[in-house]
Structure formats: structure tokens, C-alpha cells
Structure 1
């Protein structure tokens, strides 16, 4: 299984997951032209995509879904709540997903997992193929028992460490936005991410990618300081940034 990112952050997200000839794009928060450019950077053309999978309707995850889907006639998988939000309903073909009910796209088995986030029906995903399991886990304000259940025992994990609590509170965001980001339905802070890593089975993790990092309210040094007490393999961490995402990594 191979994974790459088009970019990760509040200005756009997109993650590629590939196994043999099956290829999906999870989220598309970029314009059509920018998406094509970022796909090309990873050696991918949009015609190769078997599906687009949408985690939720916030613009940094779905703003480019409709045009990409219609231009290349790509089916789009999302929850009913995400679809009826009408923020990404103008797609070539809509296919509904439900939490904890796996579905297949080619050789890839995707399991949606409901998460606490301020959207209509947000899901994150565990993707399995060839005996390997990869989890994509961003855009949640707290870690539920359901999340711990499904995101334990993975071979690869893309994990949100959105903000440092002190930087967020001292920053320029208005109080309402600070409350939203830091709340149970907002985004994981560094310490929440670290504690989550420390409490799940991470014995088989080959890659941990830290993602959805705030450009204003976080810093890699703050992330490392929070994660190291819980995850002693900090030298193995990878980083997904806004401009470049990350290049292809492989799970074996």
C-alpha cells in the first residue's frame, strides 16, 4: 500500500491511497487546476482515480470535489449528512457511506468511522488491503471509544496535531474561533494526539504522519515535545505540510 498527500492544513487537504491498480483520493480542498498540478507532482493523473472519498463538508476538504468529479466522471463516496449539506453535492455520481460499514473501491476496503467534529456527519477512514491497514484521522476535537477501537493496530497512520494550546490562546484568533478549535468538536491539540498515540496498539506502525498542523498556532518543536512522552519513536515521524503534503510512502 502506498500513501501520499496533496497538502494538509486549513487551506486545503487531499490524500492519495493506492494498492496495486486501485487508487482513491480522500478529500479535495483545492481548485481543479491546483488539484491537477498537485496530482501531477505525485505522478498521478485524475483519470487514474477510481473514487473520491469525502470526510466532511468543510471547504478545506471538499471545495474541489464537484468540479474534479464532473470533469473526470469520478464517483464520490460520502455520508448522507455530508451530501445533504449541499456543499459538495454537485458531483458526477454520489455513493452513500455509513459509519462502521466497510465498502470496496477496487482492491481497497474503506471503513468510515464517525468522529466528533462540527460538521453534519463527519467520518474518518481506515483503509485495508493486502493484509495492511492505514488510518486517516484528522478533524476531530476529542477521541472517542469508537476511534480508539478502529485506529488501533494499524500499519500506518496520518494523525492530526492541529494546535499547541498555549499558542492558540495567545494568538490572534477571536475568542469564538479559539473556543471552536479547542473544543470537543474542533481539532486535536498536540497533547491529545500524543496521548492517543500512547494509548493505542502501535506495535506494527511503520509510518506516523503528523498532519493538519496549524500554520499560526503550532510548531514542529511543540508537537515533538508533546508526543515524545507517549511515543518514543519520534525520529520515525513524518510531516504533512500545507504546500507540499508529503511524497509517497509505502507500507509492507
Structure 2
């Protein structure tokens, strides 16, 4: 596994205690993405691709007060991930963590508190160690994350055109994984997208297909996994049944903990034992 970089501490805000990582999706897809992670009172949001009122409503649906986030961590500058970050941060005074390249590509960077970082350097926010890692995507300096706390690891991988050895190393030994299954290659090829968009989505800087993610899982194995959440499914070029079927075939296991996060309903809380 890749060696984490330096660790930086930020203020520990929430007083209540919790013994395990838990996570949820506010929504996942081309119309907006946001993931919530919580451990021992530390509460992080990865991306906010929703309008502020919509993000607040989805947080409240999960029982979370919108002003209780310790940070928003950004993956890259595309609107379905970054679109609501600045307005949300200004409204609630939420610190934003972002790579240098993504910051330079951001057209609305005026937020109350900002931390820029390298995707090769790890840091700590409250009780959670954050391990970013670079991914191949058509953005300025995109990254994804592994979160570690209490001996548990939650990996997130989305918006990547292919899998590198470094990505595979970062995602080894995870106890839970949120993994992009963006498209079925045959549906994409036969679908209504213009040819240029098909090449972009299916290219090396685009999005992971069901087959690519299944191949990654086959090499990682599922021995430690308690949860596997399939994310960023295309509503045009994929279906939950196709995505789940590809993953089940690769793992040779059909388990109830293999689920899909939806665009409208996201995914309710999942806990790591």
C-alpha cells in the first residue's frame, strides 16, 4: 500500500462520540454528487454538486444539521462535484479542502476558509485521516480519497478513465468501497450520445465502466469488504442490474452489501463494524 504523506490536524468540533466509521450518499450521478463520512464526531462532505437548498434537504433527510460539517473535500472542478461548494461554504462557514490545480480551475473560489493540498500528501481532520490520491480524469488536478479511522478504511473512487497501479495500492485493504460503475460499454456504444462524448466518457481520462470496475475488484478481492457501493451510474448508458451483475460475476459472490447509490435518493447510512 502507498505510504501516506504528512498529517495535518484541524480543530475537533463535535462533542458526541461514535465507535465506527459511517457513510452515506446524498446523491450520485451526472446531476450531482456528494458523500458524507462521519467518525467520532468528525463530519466530512466529499463534493457538493447540488444547489445549497437541495444539499441541505438531503443532509436533513440523513439527520444531519447543515451547519455541522467540519469540512468539504473536493475531488475536481466539474460542476456535478464542485457546483454547490462555494455557496454552501459561504452560507455555513464550512472549510474547503482542494488541490492546487482544482483551485486554479475554480471560477468561484471565495470561501471563508480554504486549505489547498497536494494529492500525494495525507492530512487529518478531527478523528479522520484523509489520504488523497491522484486519478486520470479530464480535469486540472483531480483526486479521490481513502479515509482511515479506528483501524477501518473507507475508499472512494469515481471519475477516472482507467485504473493505475498506485490507485490499486491505495484501495487495497479497504473495509468499505464506493466505486464508480459509470457505464456499460455496449450501451454507451449504441446509445444516443454524440461520438465525441462517447469517446470522452469511454476514454482513458473519462469514467470507469462496469467491466473496468469489476476487473479492479477481481484483483483487490473482497475478503475485508463489509460494504461495496456502486456509484456514478449513468442514467442513459447503464442500469443498477447491469452494474451489480458485472461486479457479482467478478467477485463470484452475490452479497446484500453490494448496492448502488442513486441520483435522487443517494444511499442511507452504512456503518463499519
Name segments (4+ residues, structure 1) moved above 3 Å.
Answer: none
Report matched runs for 1:167-182 at 5 Å: 167-182=187-202
Deviation (angstroms), 1:201:
4.1
Task: Please name the residue that 1:246 is paired with.
Answer: 267
> What runs of 5+ residues in structure 2 fail to find an aligned partner?
1-20
Report matched runs for 1:40-51 at 5 Å: 40-51=60-71
TM-score by length of 2: 0.90
Deviation (angstroms), 1:232:
2.2
| CA distance in structure 2 between the aligned counterparts of 1:129 and 1:23, rounded to whole angstroms | 12
- 3-state SS of 2:249 partner: coil
| CA distance in structure 1 between the aligned counterparts of 2:212 and 2:141, rounded to whole angstroms | 22
Task: Please name the residue that 1:6 is paired with.
Answer: 26
How many matched pairs? 252
Q: 1:136 aligns with which of 145, 150, 156?
A: 156
- Deviation per residue, 1:146-199 (Å, 9 max, x gap): 100100110000000000001011111000000000001000001001000000
| CA distance in structure 2 between the aligned counterparts of 1:90 and 1:238, rounded to whole angstroms | 37
| CA distance in structure 1 between the aligned counterparts of 2:91 and 2:188, rounded to whole angstroms | 39
- Deviation per residue, 1:75-109 (Å, 9 max, x gap): 10010000000234222211012123111110011
TM-score by length of 1: 0.98
| CA distance in structure 1 between the aligned counterparts of 2:117 and 2:265, rounded to whole angstroms | 29
Deviation (angstroms), 1:50:
0.2
- 3-state SS of 2:101 partner: helix
Task: Please name the residue that 1:204 is paired with.
Answer: 224
- 3-state SS of 1:133 partner: strand
Q: CA 1:192 to 1:71, structure 2 compared with 1: closer, same or farther past 3 Å?
A: same
Report matched runs for 1:98-177 at 5 Å: 98-177=118-197
- 3-state SS of 1:230 partner: helix
> What runs of 5+ residues in structure 1 fail to find an aligned partner?
none
